[in-house]
Structure 1
C-alpha cells in the first residue's frame, strides 16, 4: 500500500497527466527527490531544469542524481524559481513541479515567499505547453505560516477557467494544517 504523503500523491497525479520523455522543470530543487522523479520521467530523450537558491540544495541534488545514474538528464541552476523564464521559452515545457516552504534539514528562515512564489507560478504557466501540467505542494503552519498558502490559493481561484483546470485536493481527515496538493493543467 502506498503512503500517500503529499509528494507521492503529487508524483502520481503528475504522471497521470504529463507526457513521458518531456521537458520538465523542478522549480524548487530542495534535496533532489522531485528532480530525480522528473529525471526518471524524462528518460533518455527528455530533460529537467531544476532551480534552487541554496548551494546545499544543488549539491544534495547532484549527489542524488549521480547515485541514481541520471545526472546527465538535468541542468541544476543556482537561481530563484522566479527566473525560470530566463532559461526556458514560452510554451516549451511539459511539466513543472513546486514544493513550497523550506529545505528539509536546512535553515527554516530561508523559505519560499508568497510574492515570489506567485510570480514563479504565473511565469511557469506561460512556459507550459498546451496540455502541460504543474504540480504544487503547498505547506502551511509551523515555520511557514499561512500567508503563502492563502495568497497562492486565492490567486489560483482567479485563474481563467477557459485556459486552466485547477484541481485542489485535501487531506480531509488529517489534523494540524495538512499540506495541500494542487494540479494545474493548461488547456
Structure 2
C-alpha cells in the first residue's frame, strides 16, 4: 500500500503494519465512519471495532457507510464520548485506538473535541491497550477552533510514561496554514 503523505495516510500506514484479523480496535472519534470502516476491514470477520462519537449525525453516517460496505457486523457504535470508552472495554484487550481530534467533517464547526475529554480518553486508551498495542492521533486545528486542544495535547504527550510507551509526534515543516499533526503511540511489552 502506497502511503499518502498526509496525517491520515501516515496514521493508516502505522495501523496497517500492526493490526491483524481477529484484533479488537477502537475508533474513538468515529466522525463519518471512514476510520471505523478501515479498521473493520483490517480486523476481518473475526475481529471487532468499537466506535464512539457524541454526535448522532456521526453515528448515522458511520452506520450507513458500514452497511454499504457490508461491515456492520464487525462494528459496535456508541453515541457517547470517547472519554467514556473504559465503560465499554476491558484493560489490556485493545490492539489499536484511533483519534481524529477536531470537528466532524461537513458538520457544525461549533462542535469539536475538547482538551479535557480528549486527554481523559487518551489516558483511558493507554490502559485499554494490550502490550504491543498502538494508538494513532491526528490533531486537526485551524480557523477559529482547535488551537487550545492542540496546545494542551502537545503539552500532555511528553508526560506519558516513557517506561511503558513510545510517543512519536510528527510535523509537516513546509505545509502552509495549520497542517494536521500525526502522533503515534506504541505500548511496550
Range class of TM-score, shorter chain: over 0.9
Once superposed, what is the RMSD of the aligned Cα atoms?
Answer: 1.2
The match for 2:74 is 73
Q: For structure 2, which runs of at least 5 residues remain unmatched after alignment? A: none
Q: For structure 1, which runs of at least 5 residues remain unmatched after alignment? A: none
Find runs of 4+ consecutive structure 1 residues off by over 4 angstroms: none
Pair 1:109 & 2:114 matched: no
Which string of whole-angstrom CA distances, capped at 9 and with x for unpartnered residues, describes residues 41-98 of structure 1?
A: 1101100000001110011001101111111000011000000000000111010000
State the alpha-carbon separation in 2 of the partners of residues 36 and 154 from structure 1. Answer: 31
State the alpha-carbon separation in 2 of the partners of residues 61 and 30 from structure 1. Answer: 7
**How many residues end up aligned between the 2 structures?**
187
Q: CA deviation at 1:3?
A: 3.6
Q: CA deviation at 1:142?
A: 1.2
State the alpha-carbon separation in 1 of the partners of residues 77 and 146 from structure 2. Answer: 28
1:18-57 correspondence to structure 2 within 5 Å: 18-57=19-58
Secondary structure of the 2:179 match is coil
State the alpha-carbon separation in 2 of the partners of residues 60 and 22 from structure 1. Answer: 24
The match for 1:97 is 98
Which string of whole-angstrom CA distances, capped at 9 and with x for unpartnered residues, describes residues 74-131 of structure 1?
A: 0011000000000000111010000000001111111000111000000111100010
Pair 1:185 & 2:186 matched: yes
State the alpha-carbon separation in 2 of the partners of residues 41 and 171 from structure 1. Answer: 27
For the 8 Å contact 2:137–2:184, the answer to whether it is kept is: yes
For the 8 Å contact 2:3–2:10, the answer to whether it is kept is: no
Q: In 2 relative to 1, CA 2–13 (structure 1 residues): closer, same or farther, beyond 3 Å?
A: closer
Moved more, 17-26 or 112-121: 17-26
State the alpha-carbon separation in 1 of the partners of residues 187 and 89 from structure 2. Answer: 17
State the alpha-carbon separation in 1 of the partners of residues 170 and 18 from structure 2. Answer: 15
